[in-house]
A and B are shown apart, each in its own frame.
Chain A
Amino acid sequence: MKLSEDHNIDREILLEAERLFYTYEGESTPALNGLSLTIKRGKKIACMGANGSGKSTFFLCCNGIYTPSSGSLYLSGRPVGRTKKDLLMLRRKVGIVFQDPDRQLFAASVRQEISFGPLNLGFSEEETRRRVDAVMEELGITAYAHKPVHALSGGQKKLVSIADILVMEPELIILDEPAAALDPFYTEMVHQITRRITERGITVMMATHDVNYAYEWADEIILFDEGRILRQGHPAGLFSDHALLKKTHLTPPMLLTVFHQLQSRNLIREKSPAPRNMEELKSRLTSPPDTQEQNGFPASPPDTQEQNSCLAQQEELSI
Chain B
Amino acid sequence: MIIIDRLCYCSKLRYVNAGEKSAFTVLTLAACILSRSCAVALFVLAATGVLTVYKGGLPLFRYLKLMSMPAAFLLLGTAAIFINISKVPLGAFAFSAGSYYITGSFQGLRQGAELILTALAGISCLYFLSLSTPVTDILTVLKRLHVPALILELMLLIYRYIFVMLKLAEDITVSQHARLGNRNLAASRKSFAAMVSSIFILSIRRSGQLYDALESRCYNGTLRVLPEDHPAKASEVFCIAVFELFLYLAVIFLKLSGGMP
Q: Is the CB of A128 within 8 A of B226?
A: yes
Within 8 A of A (CB), among B105-147: 134-136, 139
**A88 contact set on B, CB distance < 8 A:** 218
Please give the distance in Å from B204's CB to the nearest CB on chain A: 14
Q: Per-residue 0/1 for B207-230: is the Cβ within 8 Å of any A Cβ (1 yes, 0 no)?
A: 001101111111110011111100
Interface of chain B, helix or strand or loop or mixed?
helix
* A73–chain B nearest beta-carbon distance, Å: 15
**Complex partner residue of A102 from B139, B159, B164, B223, CB under 8 angstroms:** B164
- Please determine whether B218 and A91 come into contact, CB atoms closer than 8 angstroms: yes
Q: Is the CB of A117 within 8 A of B218?
A: yes
Q: Which of A171-192 contact B (CB under 8 A)?
A: none
Contact B225 A120 (CB under 8 A): no
- Bound form: Cα–Cα A64–B214 in Å: 12
CB-based contact B212/A112 at 8 Å: no
B46 lies within 8 A of chain A by Cβ? no
For B224, the chain A residues whose CB sits under 8 A away are 115-116, 119-120
Contact B216 A96 (CB under 8 A): yes
Q: CB-CB < 8 A to B156: which residues of A? A: 106-108
- Given A106-B210, A108-B160, A116-B217, A132 contacting B228 (CB threshold 8 A): no
Q: Does B12 contact A (CB under 8 A)?
A: no
Distance A96 CA – B215 CA, assembled complex (angstroms): 11
**Which interface residue of A60, A96, A146, A150 has the most chain B CB atoms within 10 A?**
A150
Give the docked Cα–Cα distance between A112 and B135 (Å): 12
Across the interface, do B218 and A109 meet the contact criterion of CB distance under 8 Å?
no
Q: A147-B9, A148-B5 are in contact. Are A125 and B226 (CB under 8 A)?
A: yes
Taken residue by residue from 127 to 167, chain A's Cβ proximity to chain B (1 for < 8 Å, 0 otherwise) reads as 01100100000000000001111110000000000001100
Contact of A91 among B135, B139, B217, B226 (CB under 8 A): B217
Q: Which of A112, A117, A148 contacts B9 (CB 8 A)?
A: A148
A113-B134 Cα distance, complex, nearest whole Å: 15
> How many residues of chain B are within 8 Å of chain A by beta carbon?
32
Residue of B nearest to A107 (CB): B225
> In the complex, are the beta carbons of A129 and B217 less than 8 A apart?
no
- Inter-subunit contact A103/B210 (CB<8 Å): yes
A interface majority secondary structure: helix
How near does chain B come to A119, taking the closest CB pair, in angstroms?
A: 4
**B93: CB under 8 A from chain A?**
no
Is the Cβ of B217 less than 8 Å from the Cβ of A108? no
- Residues of chain B within 8 A (CB-CB) of A102 are 164, 167
- 8 A Cβ contacts from A48-106 to B: 60, 63-65, 88, 91-92, 95-96, 98, 102-106
Q: A108-B136, A120-B217, A148-B9 are in contact. Are A103 and B206 (CB under 8 A)?
A: yes
Given contact pairs A112-B228, A113-B225, A150-B160, A98 touches B9 in the complex (Cβ within 8 A): no
Verify B164–A109 contact, CB threshold 8 A. no
Beyond A117-B217, A125-B226, 12 extra complex contacts between A and B, CB < 8 Å? A64-B215, A95-B217, A96-B216, A102-B167, A103-B206, A103-B213, A107-B136, A109-B136, A112-B225, A116-B214, A116-B223, A125-B227
A-B contact pairs, 18 of them (CB 8 A): A60-B216, A63-B216, A102-B167, A103-B206, A105-B160, A108-B156, A109-B134, A111-B226, A112-B226, A120-B218, A120-B220, A148-B9, A148-B136, A149-B160, A150-B160, A150-B164, A150-B167, A151-B9
Chain A residues within 8 Å of B, Cβ to Cβ: 60, 63-65, 88, 91-92, 95-96, 98, 102-109, 111-113, 115-117, 119-121, 125, 128-129, 132, 146-151, 164-165, 168
| A-B interface, 7 closest residue pairs, ranked by CB to CB distance from nearest | A150-B163, A112-B225, A115-B226, A120-B218, A119-B224, A108-B136, A104-B213
